[in-house]
Amino acid sequence: MTHPPKSSTAPPGTALPTMPAVPPQPGQAAPPPAPGPSAVPEVAPARRTAFAEGVDRLREAATTEPGRLRIIGAFVALLVVAFGAVTAWQMTDRASAADDVLTRSQPLSSDAADIYRSLADANTAAASGYLAGPQEKPEMRRRYESDIRTAATKLVTAASNSEAGSDSARTIAELNNLLPQYKGLIETARSNNRQGYPVGSAYLRAANEQMQAQMLPKAENLYRKENQRLQSDYADAKSFPWAAIGLGLVALGSLAWAQRRNYLRTNRVLNHGLVTASAASAVVLLWLVVGHSVARAGLNDSYDHGVRSLNVLHDARIASLTARSDENLSLIRRGADTTKVGDTTVDAYAAGYDEQIDKLAKSLVRADSLADDSAGRKPVTDANGFMKAWKDRHGVAQGLNDKGEYQQARDKVIGVGKDPTSVCFDNVDKALQTALGHEQTEFKQAAGDGKDALTGLPYGAAVLAVLGAAGAVLGIGRRLSEYR
């Protein structure tokens, strides 16, 4: 009799017996795992950044007095070091700019003015030599050659100190190209004049036009650009160091707060380290303010009583040279070149002389007002007196020329006979040269004083800042030792 199989159903709550796992037979694949609930992979927590951990540690440290002291010490020391570093940086820049004013930009500005003066004087000497006739005066020839050499030398100096590709460099290159052309025209004019050919005056006129229309405007442009560079260096040297002063005040304020906090918690009036840091910071701040103020005063004085006077005197000398050149050419051209003054047609060079002599008179008045001592005022007064005598003698010479008395007019201009205008011109030029020398000395002294006021300040600020930071750290460290 066959019995039915027993049901595997068990009463509720009764655990079913588990069958023992049957190991797989050799060569047989392992059975798949029994289905079960889905496995959820564990996610590792995100690792915190070093900055976040540092902030947490700093926050924890700030809850204790030693931790607060360490934070205060580090903060104060950092402020003092930053103050010294910014002071050293800003004062180094200003000292460098002051040195450029004294040794680079102003001398280059004077060199540019000398280029203009030398070219204008060479043109005047060439015209004076031609006016003397076939027998050119040796002193006029020597003066012309000396001016040409001076202009060429100054152009080389200016080229070596100009930036490649700059406007100044291009202007210098153009002048270097025009100078040989001008010399060639002058030599051709001299050669024809010695042989008695009237065509020489045409070559002299062409040389003068090249000088007046091309070379002198380029030389003036170079002078203006060098003056702009000088102004820029002055501005950099005199710029107030607000960043350094602001950091200095913040550093001193922080040190005062730290010492007051120390007093309120310990009832001790002084902390030697913090006092040392405060004293070092105060010395740097005082040195910075006083030193820069003295430097500004010296630089302002060098500009007001040096550069401004030099600029006016350069303008006066250029006007004098141009007036002399026009005076000579008026006789050489004999009215061949005319211009309109109002409704009247007049000789172009005679009108040019009147215009330039008026500029000379105005420049001398300004130079006299800028002179700050008798040594600077006397040569200007002398030049003014010689200029008035020149105007009077020129009026006589021009009157003779207008009446057709050419030979007498020429003698009145080039130095044959009594009271020639050439003597007045030479005296004006010498007086202006004396005044320029005096003002150049005044500039160097004042600018040198301004530069010297900044000497040692960058290095001194750096050393005192390190000393102050060390004092702050040691002062806080002494306070921390009380907690051990």
160-184 pLDDT, tens digit each: 887 787 888 899 999 999 999 999 9
**Alpha-carbon torsion (243, 245, 248, 249), positive or negative:** negative
Report the alpha-carbon distance of residue 132 to residue 141 in Å, rounded. 11
Q: Distance between alpha carbon 434 and the CA centroid of its chain, in Å?
A: 28
What confidence category does residue 31 fall into, taking pLDDT thresholds of 50, 70 and 90? low
- How high does pLDDT run on average in the chain? 83
Averaged pLDDT, 321-343: 78
Look at residue 2 in the predicted model and tell me its pLDDT. 46
Look at residue 61 in the predicted model and tell me its pLDDT. 60
CA angle, 91 as apex, 87 and 97 as ends, to 5°?
160
Look at residue 10 in the predicted model and tell me its pLDDT. 47
The amino acid at residue 337 is D
Query: Is pLDDT larger for residue 347 or for residue 2?
Result: 347
Q: Distance between alpha carbon 409 and the CA centroid of its chain, in Å?
A: 50
Look at residue 298 in the predicted model and tell me its pLDDT. 92
Nearest Cα neighbor of 271 from 257, 289, 282, 253 is: 257
The amino acid at residue 46 is A
Cα→Cα distances 62→13, 299, 369, 475, Å: 61, 50, 67, 19
Look at residue 432 in the predicted model and tell me its pLDDT. 94
Q: Are 249 and 82 in contact (CB under 8 A)?
A: no
| Backbone phi, psi, residue 415, to 5° | 115, 10
- Range with the lowest mean pLDDT among 204-208, 282-286, 415-419? 415-419
**Alpha-carbon torsion (56, 59, 63, 66), positive or negative:** positive
- Range with the lowest mean pLDDT among 160-169, 316-325, 472-481? 472-481
Three-class DSSP category at 298: helix
> pLDDT tens-digit profile of 125-154?
888 888 777 777 788 888 899 999 999 999
pLDDT at 309 exceeding the cut of 50: yes
Which of the given ranges, 62-66, 197-201, 409-413, 434-438, has the highest pLDDT on average?
Answer: 434-438
> pLDDT tens-digit profile of 371-407?
888 888 999 999 999 999 999 999 888 888 888 888 8
Three-class DSSP category at 420: coil
Report the alpha-carbon distance of residue 307 to residue 227 in Å, rounded. 9
Report the alpha-carbon distance of residue 254 to residue 241 in Å, rounded. 20
Look at residue 332 in the predicted model and tell me its pLDDT. 78
Averaged pLDDT, 77-104: 91
CA angle, 311 as apex, 228 and 362 as ends, to 5°?
130
Three-class DSSP category at 340: strand
What confidence category does residue 22 fall into, taking pLDDT thresholds of 50, 70 and 90? low
What confidence category does residue 249 fall into, taking pLDDT thresholds of 50, 70 and 90? very high
Look at residue 8 in the predicted model and tell me its pLDDT. 45
Which of the given ranges, 3-7, 24-28, 63-67, has the highest pLDDT on average?
Answer: 63-67
| Backbone phi, psi, residue 248, to 5° | -65, -40
pLDDT at 9 exceeding the cut of 70: no
- Range with the lowest mean pLDDT among 198-202, 311-315, 340-344? 340-344
- Range with the lowest mean pLDDT among 47-51, 144-148, 274-278, 356-360? 47-51
pLDDT at 244 exceeding the cut of 50: yes
Share of the chain above pLDDT 70, in %: 83
Look at residue 162 in the predicted model and tell me its pLDDT. 79
Look at residue 13 in the predicted model and tell me its pLDDT. 47
Query: Is pLDDT larger for residue 9 or for residue 308?
Result: 308
pLDDT at 363 exceeding the cut of 90: yes
